[in-house]
Amino acid sequence: GTVEATPIVVLGAGPAGGAVALGLKQLGYTHVTVVGEPRPFSALEGISERVVEGLRNAGFCHALDKIPEPSARFVTWNGVSSQANTERLIDRSAFDSAILMDLAMQGIHVIQGRVKEVETSSLGHRISIDSSGQMIEVEATFLVEARGRAAPSAKQKRIRGAETVSILQYWQGEVEERRSAVESFPQGWAWMAMDEKGKRYLQLTFDVASAVLPEKSRLPEFCLEKLNTLEQARPFIENASYSGEMHARTSTPILCQESIGDNWIRVGDAAMAVDPLSGNGIFQALSSSLQAPAVINTLLREPERALLAQRFHQLRVTELFFRFARIGRDFYATEKQWADSSFWETRIHWPDNQPIHMEPDINKLQVKTLPVVNQGLIDAVEVVTSPDQPLGIWHLNGVPLAPFVQAYQSQGIISALRSQCRDMNLTPEQSRSIFQWFAAQGAD
Ligand code: FAD
């Protein structure tokens, strides 16, 4: 059909762009082109098990091979030192190259190059690309903006947290076991990691507005002085030497309040970028990208449902942003030594005072018609919303939840669920999970 032949161009080949391209391929779109250039700097990043799961769900294969086993993570926070848990340290250059390989292996057209300009109209997009000095023009009917924090957004309204910068220094020392560490200090926090080749990544995060940072030429010295005060930095800088190389990047939380139009969508960091403290950047990038193919599919195949699909994407992105922002806020609040320092002061009050999780309240359950992903499309169905799940729950263990809430609300007693389970032929295990869910909402 004509929809399959729709040229879709994805700008950026990080985890978000890669996941969207793979998802579109799975939905049968054969004319997908990804334009990307590798990250211009090397970095290690820490990820959790659910990121590995998300990458697997997205269909990555070579990228998964680049993820090492979990390694020890040391923490000094609020004056207490511990070896709390583990994380997997990925080398982003190797990981991102493997993403490109995954795309190529799955038959997705990849143009390696730098996007110089994008001209957008209601008819489509014209993209100018610098590919190793050669200028290429590509036309697209639909555009996926996945260039991360570098994605231009002059026209979009955005919500920004406190302006933050992270300065990364590279050190080299003896080969030791892979590991990472976190430590707080009065003007910010440090994340440190070493890979299996003895390369060390020392990242210091500061507030931009509080003017603690010196002029650029003095930055290396300033960072060194700071690192020398940190207990957790010792194993990373002792018997190691500073390479002289440094990379500063903004790490301000940013939400794009207009992340979708009729013929374009923003995903990953281009839609919302979280504070790196939460270690959830790649996870959130994948979250918005795993559902994006269904949103795009709806815009192209069922344009009469465009508003529904757009609302779905923007609501999900916004909800995710605030959830991570509050998780970050509560983590900052566990550091109580420097409440009068402006770095900590601003971050423990942003974005608001709302708790991460709202108290369950059986009387606040509502059945509403809201958008969900249904077989590769966005569909409006009856879901159950609760104070903690404003976007709604459609299924529980494969069983639609709304009929149970309606049965409970019409009869006002929990035993109403029993006949509903019978009517719907639930297995004992499914019935149990329904009852457990109601119990967790405060039903008795
Ligand atoms: P990106 O991974 O940024 O991918 C965008 C891609 O687009 C890149 O390959 C880039 O080269 C390309 N691109 C940009 N502009 C152009 C252009 N003009 N032309 C062509 N290509 C272009 N997350 C974690 O999970 N764990 C961590 O430990 C962690 N640490 C972080 C530390 C810092 C200081 C920061 C700022 C972020 C950190 N993150 C971390 C977040 C993580 O890096 C991002 O959330 C994640 O990479 C977002 O994925 P993405 O695909 O949206 O964007």
**Residue 414 and residue 272 share a domain:** no
Ligand 1 probe mutation, 92, 130, 269, most atoms within 8 A of CB: 269
* Domain presence at residue 77: no
**Residue 145 and residue 284 share a domain:** yes
Q: What range defines the domain where residue 436 resides?
A: 362-440
Q: Whose CA is nearest to atom 31 of ligand 1?
A: 276
**Residue 188 and residue 306 share a domain:** no
Q: How far, in Å, CA of 355 to CA of 76, rounded?
A: 25
User: In CATH, what number is assigned to the domain containing residue 198?
Assistant: 3.30.9.100
Report phi then psi at 328, rounded to 5: -60, -50
Report phi then psi at 170, rounded to 5: -105, 130
pLDDT one-digit tens code per residue, 232-252: 999 999 999 999 999 999 999
* Domain presence at residue 30: yes
pLDDT one-digit tens code per residue, 259-308: 999 999 999 999 999 999 988 899 999 999 999 999 999 999 999 999 99
pLDDT bucket at 4, cuts 50 / 70 / 90:
low
Q: Do the strands 240-250 and 124-131 form a parallel or antiparallel pair, or are they unpaired?
A: unpaired
CA distances, 85 to each of 74, 82, 232, 420 (Å): 8, 9, 15, 44
**Residue 373 and residue 336 share a domain:** no
User: In CATH, what number is assigned to the domain containing residue 153?
Assistant: 3.50.50.60
Q: How far, in Å, CA of 142 to CA of 145, rounded?
A: 10
* Number of structural domains found in the chain: 3
Q: How far, in Å, CA of 223 to CA of 66, rounded?
A: 30
pLDDT one-digit tens code per residue, 376-404: 999 999 999 999 999 999 999 999 999 99
* Of residues 342, 396, 337, the one with CA closest to residue 365: 396
Of the candidates 250, 277, 299, which is a domain's last residue? 250
**Residue 272 and residue 244 share a domain:** no
Write down the ipTM of this complex.
Answer: 0.99
**Residue 224 and residue 281 share a domain:** no
* Domain presence at residue 19: yes
Q: Is the CB of 281 under 6 A from ligand 1?
A: yes
* Domain presence at residue 80: no
* Domain presence at residue 1: no
* Domain presence at residue 173: yes
Strand partners, 88: 47
Q: How far, in Å, CA of 21 to CA of 10, rounded?
A: 7
| Cβ atoms 25, 1 nearer than 8 A | no
pLDDT at residue number 1: 40
**Residue 181 and residue 151 share a domain:** no
Average pLDDT on 134-155 reads: 94
Of the candidates 250, 274, 307, which is a domain's last residue? 250
| SS3 category, 72 | strand
Ligand 1 probe mutation, 147, 194, 256, most atoms within 8 A of CB: 147
**Residue 60 and residue 39 share a domain:** yes
Q: How far, in Å, CA of 162 to CA of 350, rounded?
A: 8
Q: How far, in Å, CA of 194 to CA of 44, rounded?
A: 8
Q: What is the edge-to-edge ordering of all strands in the sheet holding 179-185?
A: 44-47, 80-91, 71-77, 179-185, 188-194, 199-207, 164-173, 240-250
Q: What is the edge-to-edge ordering of all strands in the sheet holding 272-273?
A: 158-160, 254-256, 272-273
* Domain presence at residue 183: yes
| SS3 category, 82 | strand
Strand partners, 96: none
pLDDT one-digit tens code per residue, 311-348: 999 999 999 999 999 999 999 999 999 988 999 999 99
**Residue 145 and residue 266 share a domain:** yes
Q: Whose CA is nearest to atom 44 of ligand 1?
A: 281
Q: Is the CB of 87 under 6 A from ligand 1?
A: no
Q: Is the CB of 432 under 6 A from ligand 1?
A: no
| Cβ atoms 207, 189 nearer than 8 A | no
**Residue 373 and residue 384 share a domain:** yes
146 CA from centroid of ligand 1 (Å) = 9
Of the candidates 289, 318, 347, which is a domain's last residue? 347
Q: Is the CB of 14 under 6 A from ligand 1?
A: yes
Q: Is the CB of 181 under 6 A from ligand 1?
A: no
